[in-house]
Structure 1
Amino acid sequence: MATTATTEPRKIPPATGPHLTEHSISVSAAPDDVYRLVADVAGWPQVFGPTVHVEVLQEADPLAGGEQLLRIWAVANEQVRTWTSRRVLDPAARVITFRQVVSAAPVAAMGGTWLIEPVEDGTTRVVLLHDYRAVDDDPQAQALIERAVDRNSLAELTALKNAAERGEDAAGLQFTFSDSVTVAGAAGDVYAFLDRAELWPERLPHVARLDLTEEESGIQHIDMDTRSSDGSIHNTTSVRVCFEDRKEIVYKQLKVPVAMRAHTGRWTIEPLDEGTLTVTSWHTVVLDHEGVRTALGPQATLAEARNLVRKVLGTNSSTTLRYAQQFAEEAHGRT
């Protein structure tokens, strides 16, 4: 457990369990910029490797702070865990406290604090505190939680440092785009096509192989080989969270090409007119500057990389959308 003395008192909420950890890192960026990255949970899947998806159930004022209610999906010990947390944002002090409202076993209770502190040499020190308790105080569960907290805390702090130190350059690295089709069919049929990805090798020409394992609560792990236009095969692994009630699927690619730092996406199905739907594939990509040069050559520009990524991902998504459209419209014609 890393510890460092500070000159100011910390605003730390009471612990809910006997196990305490502290992790910290030095960041060469302004404290306010670091704070904004921690406060902006919508951007966490693009910044933090373990975070798959975040939904804001109750929003706080970004300037005044206050309480925020979140549901988070994240990878811990190679499994996807989901929980509901309440955060209290204090922008003036650059402190964010969090407490799980609904935890996932083997966690009985967990909370902690983000502290973003200016340092005299112009850097920023970020401290991440956790307190936790295992279900039934089981020692094996406690050890499992400790490993997950340690691994994820180090990964999150390193990712936060990298994102903050990229600074304004990050604006050119991250971009979002989408492709849509109009479907004259039922939302349930479109959703079934997108949800049952294990059938994609039979249904989609660009999917050569796909292994799918599914946890409870609509969480899917996908290992997929896709075939590009030149015949080469590319492997990707992803985690998907499927919301059948609202006909939506979100995902995070865990294994990304060398030119990318992060890739997340979303499939949405929305009513358009009576009997028709708009089905959209969304992508958010964060490029890796050095990775772009490695993949495309030292003279490659970010604009060239964005255009290439847009073309490759958009082509595959558009193909999937067309086949989903055909599947749903044929099913509609048979009813």
Structure 2
Amino acid sequence: MGPRTSVPAPGDAVRVTEHAVTVAAPPDTVHRLVADVSGWPDLFGPTVHVDVLADAPPEGGEQRLHLWATAHGAVRNWTSVRTLDPVARTVTFRQLVPAPPVASMGGAWRVEPLGDGLSRVVLLHDFRAVADDPEAERLITAAVDRNSAAELAALKRAAEQGSHREELRFSFHDTHTVRAEADEVYAFLERADRWPERLPHVARLDLREEAASDPAADGARTAATVQQMEMATLAPDGSEHITDSVRLCFPGRRTIVYKQLRTPPALACHTGRWTVEPAPDGSVAVTSAHTVVLDPEGVRALLGPDASPADARARVREALGANSTTTLRHAGRFAERRGQS
């Protein structure tokens, strides 16, 4: 079904759009993917990170989120309020402080049972442009149409993978403990532009960054530096692979989250998190966490037609873990030397 856009009544510049798709999966399965925002960075291409500022109880209710996503080459962020109803399988949403040219934006996800294990997903939006500008309205409508189609396609693909999705998606982490100042360790991880001279597996790195915050969110929690970077990583055999990433650096939490926009072969998605946590005994725990979604076709192309998801998970775990461990070790040594100088 194609998108449907309403024509506003005279004096009413609010537009309403409807997009829908049929999914070969049970409605509860589909609704869980929509409701669980922790999985959105792995599900929806533009979504970089979601902070749950206030969660809803299991039986449903209001939830407050701070979302970060890419749009037209930039990284945007906003705070939304969602209302979850697991019985009706609906999720309504409303942006609290939209970014121009959007004056208001809201909508709803609705998952309808069709029987025989099928579902119909309806995605509704209502929005208004700043000053009711016609050109801005045209751009917003085009963006909503494009993003809605992409999100529904991604949701359909993930839901129809069923239990196979759990074979393709996995998480792991590595932790290194050092005796150093937590801020020095964090500074090493944040200053990725210095990595080519500090890390043996980084051949080159181009970095662009800007400060960002959302006035509707908790400033101390959500103020961040947004980094967009292209990095050339050296493999053990001397070959290079290029990745494009968005990183959100939260100095107040000593946390960096990231999403690769261009991934190595065999990976459909790769997100990660660096955390620096001081301990009561004066040590610092530095953790690198990864979540990966495998690309089945990429796995077969890289490892051969008989390669299993387990084979690919082991290979990816080894490669990413090795680079993370190297970075953790160098970050610790850097911070310890700084503490002794």
TM over 0.5: yes
CA distance in 2, matches of 1:147, 1:219: 26
- Percent sequence identity over aligned pairs: 59
> 21, 24, 29: which is aligned to 2:25?
29
CA contact (8 A) 1:22 1:127 kept: yes
CA distance in 2, matches of 1:329, 1:105: 45
CA distance in 1, matches of 2:313, 2:205: 26
Q: How far does the alpha carbon of each residue in 1:13-39 deviate from its partner, in whole angstroms, 9 at most, with x for none?
A: xxx961222211111101110001000
Change (3 A) 1:219 1:147: farther
**2:340 counterpart residue number:** 333
In structure 2, stretches of 5+ residues that fail to align are 6-11, 213-224
Corresponding position: 1:247 with 2:254? yes
CA distance in 2, matches of 1:17, 1:163: 35
Instruction: Report SS of the residue matched to 2:247.
Output: strand
1:230 CA drift (Å): 0.3
> 111, 118, 122: which is aligned to 1:116?
111
CA distance in 2, matches of 1:214, 1:43: 25
**1:12 counterpart residue number:** none
Change (3 A) 1:184 1:138: farther
Could you tell me which amino acid in structure 2 is paired with residue 44 of structure 1?
W
1:190 CA drift (Å): 1.2
CA distance in 2, matches of 1:17, 1:51: 28
Could you tell me which amino acid in structure 2 is paired with residue 226 of structure 1?
T
1:104 CA drift (Å): 2.4
**2:217 counterpart residue number:** none
Could you tell me which amino acid in structure 2 is paired with residue 314 of structure 1?
G
Instruction: Report SS of the residue matched to 1:298.
Output: coil
CA distance in 1, matches of 2:83, 2:13: 19
CA distance in 1, matches of 2:116, 2:3: 21
Could you tell me which amino acid in structure 1 is paired with residue 276 of structure 2?
I
Matches within 5 A, 1:162-241: 162-217=157-212, 218-241=225-248
CA distance in 2, matches of 1:105, 1:187: 38
CA contact (8 A) 1:76 1:148 kept: no
CA distance in 2, matches of 1:17, 1:257: 45
1:235 CA drift (Å): 0.4
Corresponding position: 1:89 with 2:96? no
Q: Which moved further from structure 2: 140-149 or 207-216?
A: 140-149
CA contact (8 A) 2:4 2:17 kept: no
Matches within 5 A, 1:1-335: 2-3=3-4, 18-62=14-58, 64-120=59-115, 122-217=117-212, 218-334=225-341
Change (3 A) 1:256 1:216: same
CA distance in 1, matches of 2:304, 2:64: 44
Could you tell me which amino acid in structure 2 is paired with residue 46 of structure 1?
D
CA contact (8 A) 1:224 1:237 kept: yes
Could you tell me which amino acid in structure 2 is paired with residue 269 of structure 1?
V
- Equivalenced residue count is 322
Could you tell me which amino acid in structure 2 is paired with residue 264 of structure 1?
T
CA distance in 1, matches of 2:62, 2:13: 22
Instruction: Report SS of the residue matched to 2:96.
Output: strand
CA contact (8 A) 1:77 1:148 kept: no
CA distance in 2, matches of 1:68, 1:326: 41
Could you tell me which amino acid in structure 2 is paired with residue 133 of structure 1?
R
Q: Which moved further from structure 2: 131-140 or 252-261?
A: 131-140
Change (3 A) 1:144 1:183: farther
CA distance in 1, matches of 2:194, 2:265: 28
Could you tell me which amino acid in structure 1 is paired with residue 252 of structure 2?
D
Change (3 A) 1:208 1:128: same
CA distance in 1, matches of 2:296, 2:90: 31
1:144 CA drift (Å): 3.2
Q: How far does the alpha carbon of each residue in 1:94-122 deviate from its partner, in whole angstroms, 9 at most, with x for none?
A: 11100011222332211001011122564
CA distance in 1, matches of 2:167, 2:40: 18
Q: How far does the alpha carbon of each residue in 1:32-68 deviate from its partner, in whole angstroms, 9 at most, with x for none?
A: 1000100001111111111110111111123x21111
CA distance in 2, matches of 1:17, 1:66: 30
